[in-house]
A and B are shown apart, each in its own frame.
Chain A
Amino acid sequence: MAHGHAVKRYSGLMDWLTTVDHKKIGILYLISGGFFFLVGGLEALLIRIQLWKPLNDFVGADTYNELLTMHGTTMIFLAAMPLLFALMNAIVPLQIGARDVAFPFVNALGFWTFFFGGVLLNVSWFTGGAPDAGWTSYAPLSTTTFSSDHGVDYYVLGLQIAGIGTLVGGINFLATIINMRAPGMSFMRMPMFTWTAFITSALILFAFPALTVGLVALMFDRLFSGNFFEVSNGGNAVLWEHIFWIFGHPEVYILILPAFGVISEVISTFSRKRLFGYSSMVFATVLIGFLGFMVWAHHMFTVGLGPVANALFSIATMLIAVPTGIKIFNWLFTMWGGSIRYTTANLFAVGFVPTFVMGGVTGVMLAAAPADFQYHDSYFVVAHFHYVIVGGLILGIFSGLFYWWPKMFGRMLHEGWGKLCFWTFFIGFHLTFFVQHFLGLMGMPRRVWQYLDGLGFNNLNLISTIGAMLMGLGTVFFIINVIITAFKPRDAANDPWEDGRTLEWTISSPAPEYNFAQTPLVRGYDAYWKEKMEGKKAMTPAEPLGPIHMPSPSILPFVMSVGLFIAGFGLMYHWHIVTIAGLGITLLCMFLRSVYDDHGFHIEPDELQDKGVKG
């Protein structure tokens, strides 16, 4: 079948280990991100069980520290990021009319390094203690003086390896979106989700290297007696906070921007209207990305940076409310006068809007530096960031999953179970976190494993725990839905929602291996909708039918990541031979990749099938 170069094609497990297809990598991200979401969710439930009554001793204080650290770290780095990468991988190339991403091999490498970094981090549960210094891992708590077991070593090395994956993934999407758009797809005709993926990737590129340096510095301090944060030898603990948050604040925009993109697509599709104020949406996205780098010190108001620094960072933080407000109003005006269909995807999107506004309002409250001295390290902060991350990001991811599920798997998720999932999760979410605002204002500190009786915390904590159980139930309903759907025939139409506006709905569900038999010609924003409005059934092709060049599958990304995983253990336990062996495996793979060129293979026009070959 392959012309010119014979290429080995795998099936079964080997197919998944060697794939460089962005759609399959998207599914791998979805499965492993979903798995870590369940792990992080379980940790959250254990936290809430511990807090359901005063002076509870369900878990010990040490275990509680591990649980809260691993819950935060897992949810941010191993659940939220990969779930976004799942949607970006599955959809962005389709939305810009591309056959693949710019670097398919690097794309696979990004997935496997994330995966093995995540596994390394979680291995810590079985080797004598998980990280317990909080997801922010502030020095000196995270230095060997106060954290002498290997927990924080797992944090440092696991996140370092996972971070490589995120960084190369970001570069890959930037290059893909800049270089591989279909003819006519100018920047100002790109779908909103692609725009947000683009800006998010740029933020990843400029934020993650700071985390890399921070983790290296902490690793040097812990493993090689360095002095970056060792105050007795001239180190500076506040330096860690600066480095962490100059990465960490852009990180929250890395998370939320793609969710904004999903909401824009879903609301526009199910209102049967063009997205209101598209150009201002693009402008607001870019502005949020830019301002995201200017506000890191608002996490450090109580450190003592002085009134001038606090005032400047306070104002910069409040400025972000302006582009975010633009987005909120644009979504409302998109719905205004539209013929709205409340599918599950749209329920999640519509539920997102007021929930996210609530998180934004508490954000502006926290941005006022003098008031922040009251809120700092209380449950008010916990309520705030869960409103923006769960109420914003997770609702957005659910919305995107229900919306694009047919494009990823060829089957529609069940709407009844979907609505049950939405209402349980949505009500559970507000029950859990709304009351935490008041717990915080009443003075309940975060990250403490017990509270005393008679402080007025009892009822609100009980409500919060019941809400968390409901969120867990909602997630179970989603899993049931996925299982039921997996047994249904793969019969989703190309444009299953019938109102699809963008290029991914012009091809079969799931998309074939080569995406587009002929690259489409894009004649405007909402490319497919424009053709529909002119009475056409399909896109005008921009090229004749011809053989399609495809990259070869490769096991090297998997083996490279295994090498890093092994080297991580070697570094932690000072087994130098293991470290050298692990790094040697990775370097050997890089050598092989450089020496043996990938000529790929061609799919001939008579071999083009309609349906994808996966499930």
Chain B
Amino acid sequence: MSASHVEGKLPHEPEKATLEGRNKVLGFWLFLGGETVLFGTLFSAFLALRHQVGDGNPTADELFKLSTVAIATAILLVSSLTSVFAIQAMHRNQVKAMLNWLIITVILGFGFLGLEIYEFYEYVHEGHKFSTSAFSTSFYTLVGFHGAHVLFGVLWITLLIIQISTKKGLTVVTAPKVYVAGMYWHFIDVVWVFIFTVVYLMGKVG
């Protein structure tokens, strides 16, 4: 089982070469199913409360600057693409290329986070605090949950990069980890597409 990776080259899909690997991939798909319900509930709460702005507080239309959000969206979408390149490199057994694409993914992830922190900072200064209204609470909870997921993702992928580049290399044990981290990153990206639509675009028109 776990000892078999020592000799010979990696199989074509190293993430599914062992039962442990297949379990990990399946278990992670299931976990993402649960995450879908989690974000679905957060979206529902936001949709129910998004018009409850309160008197004198900035509305969604006044707050949101689509230019910043569009840049953040572009960065996150590109990072999803680079994570695909990383997995493709893994399947070609090109460890160096895989690591480079993962590093680019992490850098883009940090760029996204920087923009989001800047955005929140601006909002607070315009009087849109967490406790201002039901709209602000549900906004920060939904977008903040997503931001926390991005933060966890970049830390996780960074840890994987360090492990694979320094000691462990790409094996049938580490390959499933990279693969599920990629799944996680795509999921975060899809959630953001919904946030961009439901929170920001609908905030501008509604």
Residue numbers of A with Cβ under 8 A of B are: 4, 102-103, 106, 167, 171-172, 174-175, 178-180, 205-210, 212-214, 216-217, 220-221, 224-228, 230, 233-236, 239, 242-243, 246, 549, 591, 594-595, 597, 599-600
Given A175-B27, A234-B134: A209 and B3 interface contact (C-beta under 8 Å): no
- B133 engages A227 (CB within 8 Å): yes
Q: Check A239 against B45 for contact (C-beta < 8 Å).
A: yes
B159 and chain A: residue at smallest CB distance: A594
Distance to closest chain B CB from A21 (angstroms)? 17
User: How many A-B contacts at CB < 8 Å in the complex?
Assistant: 125
Roughly how many angstroms separate A255 CA and B77 CA in the complex, as a whole number?
41
Expressed in whole angstroms, the minimum distance between the Cβ of B62 and any Cβ of chain A is 17
Show 5 residue pairs from A and B whose CB-CB distance is below 8 angstroms, ordered by the A residue: A106-B27, A179-B23, A209-B38, A210-B37, A234-B52
Query: Is residue B35 within 8 Å, beta carbon to beta carbon, of the partner chain?
Result: yes
Q: A225-B130, A234-B52, A236-B134 are in contact. Are A209 and B23 (CB under 8 A)?
A: no
Chain B interface size, as a band, is 35 or more
Q: Is the CB of B133 within 8 A of A234?
A: yes
Q: Are A591 and B159 in contact (CB under 8 A)?
A: yes
Picked from B26, B34, B49, B141, the residue with its CB within 8 Å of the CB of A209 is B34
A216 contacts B27, CB within 8 Å? no
Report B-chain residues with C-beta under 8 Å of the C-beta of A174: 27, 30
Quick one: given A206-B34, A209-B41, A597-B2, are A225 and B131 in contact (CB under 8 Å)?
yes
Q: Of B19, B33, B134, which one neighbours A233 at CB under 8 angstroms?
A: B134
Chain B residues near A205: list those with CB within 8 A: 30, 33-34, 37
Cβ-defined contact, B130 with A224, below 8 A: yes
Flag if A228 contacts B130 (CB, 8 Å): no
Nearest A residue to B54, CB-CB = A234
- A299 CA to B74 CA, complexed, in Å: 44
In the assembled complex, the Cα of A205 lies from the Cα of B52 at a distance in Å of: 31
CA distance A224 to B130 in the complex (A): 8
Q: How far apart are the CA atoms of A214 and B38 in the complex, in Å?
A: 10
Contacting residues of chain B (108-164) with chain A, CB-CB under 8 angstroms: 130-138, 141, 156, 159-160, 163
User: Are A178 and B137 in contact, with the CB atoms below 8 A?
Assistant: no
Residue on A with the closest CB to B29?
A: A175
Given A224-B130, A594-B156, 10 other A-B residues pairs in contact with their CB atoms under 8 A: A175-B27, A206-B37, A207-B37, A212-B38, A226-B130, A227-B136, A228-B141, A234-B52, A594-B163, A595-B163
CA distance A225 to B130 in the complex (A): 8
A302, chain B: closest CB distance, angstroms:
20
Question: Cβ of B141: which chain A residues have Cβ within 8 Å of it?
Answer: 216-217, 220, 226, 228
Query: How far, in whole Å, are A106 and B30 apart by their CA atoms in the complex?
Result: 14
Q: Does B135 contact A234, Cβ atoms closer than 8 Å?
A: yes
Q: Is B131 a contact of A224 with CB atoms below 8 Å?
A: yes
In the assembled complex, B194 has its CB within 8 A of some CB on chain A: no
How many Å lie between the Cα of A246 and that of B40 in the bound state? Answer: 12
Q: Are B34 and A167 in contact (CB under 8 A)?
A: yes
- B48 touching A4, Cβ below 8 Å: no
Is B60 close to A, CB under 8 A? no
Contact between A228 and B30, CB atoms less than 8 A apart:
no
Q: How far is the CB of A403 from chain B (nearest CB, A)?
A: 29
* Interchain CB contact under 8 A, B131 and A213: no
Which chain A positions have C-beta within 8 A of B38?
209-210, 212-213
A206 touches B27 (CB 8 A): no
* Interfacial chain B residues near A178, Cβ < 8 Å: 26
With contact pairs A209-B35, A220-B137, A597-B2 given, residues A179 and B131 touching in the complex (Cβ less than 8 Å):
no
Chain B residue numbers with a CB within 8 Å of A595 are 159, 163
By the criterion CB–CB under 8 Å, are B23 and A102 in contact?
Answer: yes
Q: How far is the CA of A214 from the CA of B37 in the complex (A)?
A: 12
Q: Is B12 an interface residue (CB 8 A)?
A: no
Residues B45 and A228 in contact, CB atoms below 8 Å apart: yes
Chain B residues near A599: list those with CB within 8 A.
2-3
For the residues of A in contact with B, the DSSP-based class is helix
Which residue on chain B has the smallest CB distance to residue A213?
B41
Expressed in whole angstroms, the Cα–Cα distance for A174 and B54 within the complex equals: 45
The interface residues of chain A lying within 8 Å CB-to-CB of B133 are: 227, 233-234
Residues of chain B contacted by A4 (CB below 8 angstroms)? 3
Contact with A along B30-60 (1 / 0, CB 8 A): 1101110110011011001100111000000
Task: Check if A206 sits within 8 Å of B33, measured CB to CB.
Answer: yes
CB-CB nearest 6 A-B residue pairs: A234-B52, A234-B134, A209-B38, A225-B131, A213-B41, A209-B37
- The listed residue (A103, A214, A246, A594) touching B23 by CB distance below 8 A is A103
Closest residue on chain B to residue A171 by CB atoms:
B30
B31 with A235: CB separation less than 8 A? no
Closest residue of B by beta carbon distance from A238 = B48
B169 vs chain A, min Cβ distance (A): 12
B95 to chain A, nearest CB (A): 17
Question: B residues within 8 A CB of A591?
Answer: 159
Q: How far is the CA of A4 from the CA of B2 in the complex (A)?
A: 11
B1: interface (CB < 8 Å)? yes
Chain A residues with CB under 8 Å of B2's CB are 549, 597, 599-600
CB distance from B197 to the nearest CB of A (A): 20
B22: interface (CB < 8 Å): yes
Q: How far is the CA of A256 from the CA of B26 in the complex (A)?
A: 26
Complex formed: what's the CA distance from A595 to B177 in Å? 11
- Minimum CB–CB distance from A168 to chain B (whole Å) comes to 8
Contact A208 B23 (CB under 8 A): no
Q: Measured between C-beta atoms, what is the minimum distance from A409 to chain B in Å? A: 29
A243-B34 in contact given A179-B22, A228-B134, A235-B49 (Cβ < 8 Å): no
Report if B173 contacts A (CB, 8 A).
yes
- Contacts A103-B27, A217-B45, A594-B159 given: A228-B37 contact, CB under 8 Å? no
Q: Is there an interface contact between B34 and A171, defined as CB atoms closer than 8 Å?
A: yes
**Bound-complex Cα distance A206 to B36 (A):** 9
> Residue among B49, B130, B177 with the most chain A CB within 10 A?
B49
CB-based nearest B residue for A594: B159
Residues of chain B lying within 8 A (CB to CB) of residue A226: 130-131, 137, 141
Whether A227 lies near B134 (C-beta < 8 A) is: yes
Q: Is the CB of A235 within 8 A of B52?
A: yes
Residues of A contacting B136 with CB < 8 Å? 227
Chain B 156-188 per-residue mask, 1 if CB under 8 angstroms from chain A, else 0: 100110010000100001000100000000000
Q: How far is the CB of A169 from chain B (nearest CB, A)?
A: 12
- Find chain B residues with CB under 8 A from A175 CB: 23, 26-27, 30
Check B45–A213 contact: CB distance below 8 A.
Answer: yes
Contact residues in B for A228 (Cβ distance below 8 Å):
45, 49, 134, 137-138, 141
B102 to chain A, nearest CB (A): 15
The smallest beta-carbon distance between A548 and chain B, in angstroms, is 10
List chain A residues, Cβ under 8 A from B135. 234
Query: How distant is the Cα of A179 from the Cα of B29 in the complex, in angstroms?
Result: 13
